[in-house]
Structure 1
């Protein structure tokens, strides 16, 4: 199965590309919304305590956004 991708394969790659671009800004928006709203009940449930600056939902969303940013970097710098 070498050669150009079929219509389904091409569509799947295109969708995967758009999904990879959607992840980083989605997590960044979630971090901002969580910070503005004060975290809510999930903040208490997911936070082990005040011992670590990386505890809580906001830092988690920011880290997830950073880990998903290579798709944007590839787009910006043309691979």
Structure 2
């Protein structure tokens, strides 16, 4: 043994074999978290957000960013229904 361990060995040792379960939970937690953040950013007053939006359908600001992040993280949820 050379003392080097693979990433899987490290995760298995640190999480006592629960690594795949934790990874699955975290992958499912991303999309709803970003969706909630988009709702919070949409309902917050403009002066509370770092960059005020130009209009309700503007592609600038935090809301479109969180919506896109939520959409990009939907794949674990779509795999559940496959």
- Structures share fold, TM-score greater than 0.5: yes
| Runs of 4 or more above 6 Å deviation | none
> Cα distance, 1:58 vs. partner?
0.2
Query: What runs of 5+ residues in structure 2 fail to find an aligned partner?
Result: 1-8
Cα RMSD after superposing both structures: 2.4
Q: Is the counterpart of residue 29 in structure 1 residue 73 in structure 2? A: no
Deviations, residues 17-65 of structure 1 (Å, cap 9, x unaligned): 0000000000000000110113523234xx7xx4xx3210000000000
TM, length-normalised to structure 2: 0.68
Who is 1:75 aligned against? 80
Q: Does 1:43 align with 2:51?
A: yes
* Bigger Rg over Cα: 2
Aligned residues: 68
5+ residue gaps in structure 1?
Answer: none
Query: Where is the helix percentage greater, Structure 1 or Structure 2?
Result: 1
Give the structure-1-normalised TM-score.
Answer: 0.71
Matching residue of 1:11: 18
